[in-house]
Amino acid sequence: MTNYQDLGLRPLINAYATVTKYGGSLMPPEVLEAMNEAASAFVSLAELQRRVGERIAKLTRNEAAYITSGAAAGLMLSSAACALHKQPRALDQFSALAALKYEAIILHSQRNPYDYATQQTGLRQIEIDGSPAALRAAINDKTACVFWFPRGLCSNADLTLAETIAIADEHGLPVIVDAAAQLPPVENLWRFTQMGAALALFSGGKDLRGPQSSGLMLGRRDLIDLIRPISNPNHGLGRPLKVGKEELMGALAAVERYLKLDHAARARYCEEAVRLFCDALDPLPGVDAQRAFPNEAGQPLPWCSVTIDSAKFGKTADELVADFLGHDPAIAVSPLNERQFHLNPMTLNPGEEIIVRDACLQLLRDP
């Protein structure tokens, strides 16, 4: 069997985050076993999608659930669901759906590279400032839904999710929450939909540690049922976003595991790793290493923020980030700007925090 090294690639230690470009997260044994078993027998894919969805819905206290090929696919499929909700007769014809020129509202402060997926179904994106008046003014009979991205750099003046849902509700409009990286806390699996969001989308391949090409769409059954006929194994818009039997069973195993996980123990591990990093690095000349909380994605886990005095080192933080990747073993750390990077413990395997600390000492002591 050919491995990464045979292909001339070095595996990385991930002290960055659950970023897709480095492989997202690692699947634990429960998930691998579920995928292996799924790979050993044929089954009706549409029925499996239904049964897995029912099981996940129950586990996550949602009305319904659908497994997508990722949160980005979920953005696309939920846009389609909202358009079809307005015009069910457009079901078979994607071109007809686009021609209807339906609109999706998004807050200016929440624009992000993933929101492109909301337009791929032909929805026109209407960008608004974050005030209640702007949201009310943007809503018209072409509006299909409102998208909400919790990661956005919201200013305090912006609408909250609860206010957005309240205004959307006045018009019977679904609010879709892109919660791709909003785990932990585990409660988010039901929090957004219990607040009244129509659908909440999660990555299966981030902290859930399910298959990389999986995601969860949780929430309203009527919306989810609208995308079944146009998603694999059926033909239509969702057919290229195929989710196989292995991903379906892997995603289910990942959810089951995540609900049982000792999240407090996991948070303690992260605290200890961050303390280890700060204690080792902060005393170094020209280095400031501090615990920061929550981390960049807003997850309630600490990470270590490292600020360097570039003049002293003759190197920027960006150059150090490259040094980490060139180190043996290669380590991915989270770049921030010319002076700062972060060490994120959430994707470390236990024991790797020592390797990361030692690499830091080597690279920062002797730049």
Ligand X SMILES: *Cc1c(COP(=O)(O)O)cnc(C)c1O
Task: Kindly tell me which of 178 and 353 has the beta carbon lying closer to ligand X.
Answer: 178
Nearest to 60 by CA among 224, 192, 248, 227: 192
Give first-to-last CA distance, the chain, whole Å: 39
Asked whether the beta carbons of 176 and 33 are under 8 A apart, the reply is no
- The dihedral built from the CA positions of residue 133, 83, 60 and 345, taken in this order, carries a sign that is negative
Residues 6 or more apart whose CB falls under 8 angstroms from that of 84 comprise: 90, 91, 97, 226, 227, 230
Task: Kindly tell me which of 113 and 314 has the beta carbon lying closer to ligand X.
Answer: 113
β-strands 340-343, 330-335 pairing: antiparallel
Token reading at 232: 């694999």
Q: What are phi and psi of 261, to 5 degrees?
A: -60, 145
State the residues that interact with ligand X by CB under 6 A: 20, 70-72, 114, 149, 151, 178, 180-181, 203, 205, 215
Considering the complex, what minimum distance in angstroms separates the CB of residue 300 from ligand X? 16
Considering the complex, what minimum distance in angstroms separates the CB of residue 234 from ligand X? 21
Considering the complex, what minimum distance in angstroms separates the CB of residue 337 from ligand X? 20
Token reading at 301: 């886990």
Considering the complex, what minimum distance in angstroms separates the CB of residue 181 from ligand X? 4
Task: Kindly tell me which of 108 and 136 has the beta carbon lying closer to ligand X.
Answer: 108
Token reading at 213: 């090409």
Considering the complex, what minimum distance in angstroms separates the CB of residue 221 from ligand X? 22
Task: Kindly tell me which of 35 and 72 has the beta carbon lying closer to ligand X.
Answer: 72
Chain position whose Cβ is nearest to ligand X:
70
Considering the complex, what minimum distance in angstroms separates the CB of residue 75 from ligand X? 7
Asked whether the beta carbons of 340 and 306 are under 8 A apart, the reply is yes
Task: Kindly tell me which of 177 and 343 has the beta carbon lying closer to ligand X.
Answer: 177
Task: Kindly tell me which of 72 and 105 has the beta carbon lying closer to ligand X.
Answer: 72
Considering the complex, what minimum distance in angstroms separates the CB of residue 341 from ligand X? 19
CA distance 274 to 291: 6
Helix 245-260 to helix 29-38 angle (10° resolution) is 150
Task: Kindly tell me which of 147 and 313 has the beta carbon lying closer to ligand X.
Answer: 147
CA distance 198 to 273: 38
